[in-house]
Structure 1
Amino acid sequence: MSRISVLVVDDSATMRSLIAATLRRDTDIEVVGFANDPLEARDAIKRLNPDVVTLDVEMPNMDGLTFLEKIMRLRPTPVVMVSTLTQAGAEVTLAALEIGAVDCVGKPGAGVTAAEAFGDLAMKVKAAARARVRPLGSAPVVEKREGYSGGDKIVAIGSSTGGVEALLTVISAFPENCPPTVITQHMPATFTKSFAQRLDRASAAHVTEAVEGAPLETGRVYLAPGGHTHLEITSGAHPRCRLVPADPVNGHRPSVDVMFNSAAKHGPRVVAALLTGMGRDGAQGLLALKEKGARTIGQDEASCVVYGMPRAAFELGAVEKQLPLGRIGPAILDLCSAAAPGRDQ
């Protein structure tokens, strides 16, 4: 099998060298070229036809977002963004993921070595090479559901690679009185606050980062903060968010499996969905939920950026029904509706 070809685009020669050195340690990857700015990158993409582009956010002659838009409109190619781990960098990177970048990594900075910052870069590049990239403007059509009447259900959603677009699509379908919802998305700590704000602007529901002890309330969506904790929900009639310091699970912190396993205590009260993502995180947890009587949904292969986590769950028998992305939000509300208990999608 041929190696994955990568074009590295960054205005810093030092950063280009660091990225290339990191990727060349993986024998499945070949760095085929470099570009200092988008103008050079445009010609290099035409000449080299790389499988994946790593793209800096801030560059001369044309910023990374503008160039990414041109790539996704004219020549859709898997892109991994390389961003400074700052608040401004987080907001720009989230915008890039919305436009169509497959994933992101943070640059080395104060107290962060290149080995730490780029530890999973090769893995993300290989996942990007397998990803489905769609032309800009081809976002999924979201089905609207009228007449949601509320109930006592809890919603749990897990996602990873491709999850920014997927979660925006699902949560934008939620009404102001949506069921209490917890989300774990694999994302650096610097990004989750900005992402919660972006979800909040896209939805009639109120979306925030989860905090320790927050009660799960109607109309509220709680996003697991990135960093050193996993998001769990407590047992009992009035569950709360719990942030648990612990080692990574399945290589992730926060982990979808940890959140799903904590939700399994609520059994039939839970409606859970596992969206696009690389790997297996969430598959075992979704199975535990299903075995406890929860309703479970998996995103289908055709609408996933990376059909990894939903595939693993489907193969375990954890998925009650697979659905395209645009139907998942309304289906969750159907299953949660007090007016239609047990109604199928």
Structure 2
Amino acid sequence: MVASASAFLRIGLIQQLRRRRSRMVALEAATVAEAMRILAGGGIDMAIVDDALTVPPAGDRLVAMIERQPGRTLVIATHQQREVPPTWADRVRVIQGVIDGVLDMGAIARALPAALDEVAVDQDLRRAGPRNAPIVVDQAGRPLRGRPDIILVAASTGGPSALTALLRHLGPLRLPLVIAQHMPADQTAGFAQYLAAESGLQVIERGDGPLPPSAQVTVLHGGSDYRLTCGRAGQLRLVATAVAGNVFHPSADLLFGSAAEAGVSAIAVVLSGMGEDGARGAAAIAAQGGRVLVQDYLSCIVAGMPQATRAACPSAAVADVAEIAERLARWSRALIPRAAAMVGG
């Protein structure tokens, strides 16, 4: 539901939503009464409400319904700078649209993607089951996205500087992160040490074998290709695999595609690089319901890989390295504590 007395704001919000979910069904409300009628009917996954509709006394009943409704709510503060009531802390996300006393539509547009990501995370948690639960599919047979198990990153030309910036911005990890940086075999050990020194994170080079259960950064051993597998107990393992005709190692397409094939819930990130490696594998991850992020083209040394990935996977989000890190950190913070509680019973 999108509720606002401003037709201009409703149109703008719905356009942004449909860029992310083309099959979304949006119900519009121009008044408090219309918004309450829609909420009372139930079945709303998300409500986006202009806070001008929540002004007392007419808006008091709408606020009460927002606090009770099972889906997440985004409140767009177009009326004034809005403080978040304690009752909204976990259920309602507020986007501040009033900057220095003036309505700023640009601020709303910039804040909306991150807010929608948080809503998506919350919906994933409510849908997610235990790690080894059977895959649930929608009516079209496509698996529904569950909580992420791992972050997979692909990079080539320009990748070392982008990876350094990514890890610096990322902060403490809450999910394991595996890097497929196109690099010769004799350089990846030194590169892992460099990333560790620059980021302060635990970074190791690894080839064939099990991935540690702890959240740390793994740089794939250069000059070889690896398939990601998942054992019955949920243990993730790298298996060295020869890819005929491949000249760029490690192969991001193989890493990404094998994760999707194994049913591993992954986030795929494609950074600066020449060629198309990662595009097909990222599309496979997206088809399984996973998220895909690509580096914005202007900040790339060579934008071939991100552009090819975006072409193969239209749902991929394009962002600069700092924003990619911020999204990964936010998803990890939101997911891991509650996911761990699920596993613990």
User: Matched residue of 1:234: which SS?
Assistant: strand
Specify the code of the residue in structure 1 equivalent to 2:168. S
Offset of 1:294 from its aligned partner?
A: 0.6
Alignment match, 1:233: 228
Is 1:251 paired with 2:247?
Answer: yes
**Contact (CA 8 Å) 1:173, 1:329: kept in 2 or not?**
yes
> Which ranges of structure 2 fall in alignment gaps of 5 or more residues?
1-146, 339-345
Q: 1:177 to 1:275 in 2, by over 3 A?
A: closer
Offset, 1:242: 1.7
Per the TM alignment, residue 337 of structure 1 is displaced from its structure 2 partner at its CA by 3.2
Alignment length (residue pairs):
193
2:278 and 2:309 in contact (8 A); partners too: yes
For residue 190 of structure 1, give the secondary structure of its aligned residue in structure 2.
coil
CA contact (8 A) 1:272 1:295 kept: yes
Write the distance in 2 (CA, Å) between the matches of 1:226 and 1:326. 26
- Aligned partners of 1:319, 1:187: CA distance in 2, in Å? 28
Secondary structure in structure 2 of the residue aligned to 1:337: helix
Does 2:286 match 1:293? no
- Kindly provide the CA deviation profile for residues 93-147 of structure 1, in whole angstroms up to 9, marking residues without a partner as x: xxxxxxxxxxxxxxxxxxxxxxxxxxxxxxxxxxxxxxxxxxxxxxxxxxxxxxx
The CA distance in 1 between the partners of 2:245 and 2:326, in whole Å, is 30
What SS does the aligned partner of 2:272 have?
A: coil
Structure-1 residue corresponding to 2:189: 193
**TM-superposed deviation, 1:184:** 0.2
Structure exhibiting the larger radius of gyration computed from Cα positions? 2
Paired position in structure 2 for 1:171: 167
| Partner residue, 1:120 | none
Provide the rounded CA distance (Å) in 2 between the counterparts of 1:177 and 1:309: 25
Return the TM-score normalized by structure 1. 0.51
Distance 1:245 1:289 in 2: 19
Identity rate of aligned residues, in percent? 33
**2:287 aligned partner, one-letter code:** E
1:337 is aligned with what amino acid? R
Matched, 1:302 2:298: yes
- Identify the residue that residue 206 of structure 2 maps to in structure 1: 210
Runs of 4+ in 1 over 6 A off after TM superposition: none
* Maintained 8 Å contact 1:298/1:319: no
TM-score, normalising length: structure 2:
0.51
Structure 1 Cα separation of the partners of residues 148 and 294 of structure 2: 22
User: What is the identity, as a one-letter code, of the residue corresponding to 2:170?
Assistant: F
Quickly say closer, same or farther: Cα 1:318–1:209, change in 2 above 3 A: farther
The whole-number CA distance in structure 2 between the counterparts of 1:210 and 1:286 is 22
Q: Rate the CA distance shift 1:241–1:249 in 2: closer, same or farther, 3 A.
A: farther
CA–CA distance in 2 between the matches of 1:173 and 1:153? Answer: 21
| SS of the residue 2:153 aligns to | strand
Distance 2:168 2:215 in 1: 13
Q: 1:319 to 1:239 in 2, by over 3 A?
A: farther
Structure 2 CA distance, aligned partners of 1:318 and 1:337? 26
Q: How does 1:98-247 map to 2 (within 5 A)?
A: 153-227=149-223, 229-236=224-231, 237-247=233-243
User: In the alignment, which residue of structure 2 is the partner of 1:106?
Assistant: none
Task: State the Cα distance separating 1:324 from its structure 2 match.
Answer: 1.0
Q: Contact 1:153 / 1:336 at 8 angstroms: preserved in 2?
A: no
Aligned twin of 1:281: 277
1:299 to partner: Cα distance: 0.6
**What is the RMSD of the two structures over their aligned residues, measured on CA atoms?**
2.7
Return 152-161 or 179-188, whichever deviates more: 152-161
Displacement of 1:267 = 5.0
Question: Residue type of the partner of 2:247?
Answer: G
Contact 1:287 1:319 in 2 (8 A): no
Structure 1 SS opposite 2:162 = helix
One-letter amino acid of the structure 2 residue matched with residue 287 of structure 1: A
Query: What is the deviation of 1:266?
Result: 5.6
Alignment partners' CA distance in 2, 1:280 and 1:195: 23
* Contact 2:164 2:198 survives alignment (8 Å): yes
**Residue 230 (structure 1) shift:** 1.1
Residue type at the aligned position of 1:173? H
Distance in 1 (CA, whole Å) between partners of 2:296 and 2:181 is 18
Which deviates more from structure 2 when the two are superposed, residues 313-322 or residues 157-166?
Answer: 313-322
Amino acid corresponding to residue 328 of structure 2 in structure 1: I
Which whole-Å deviations, capped at 9, do the CAs of 1:61-116 have from their partners, x for residues lacking one? xxxxxxxxxxxxxxxxxxxxxxxxxxxxxxxxxxxxxxxxxxxxxxxxxxxxxxxx
Instruction: Output one character per residue of 1:35-54: Cα deviation in whole Å (capped at 9) or x when no partner.
Output: xxxxxxxxxxxxxxxxxxxx
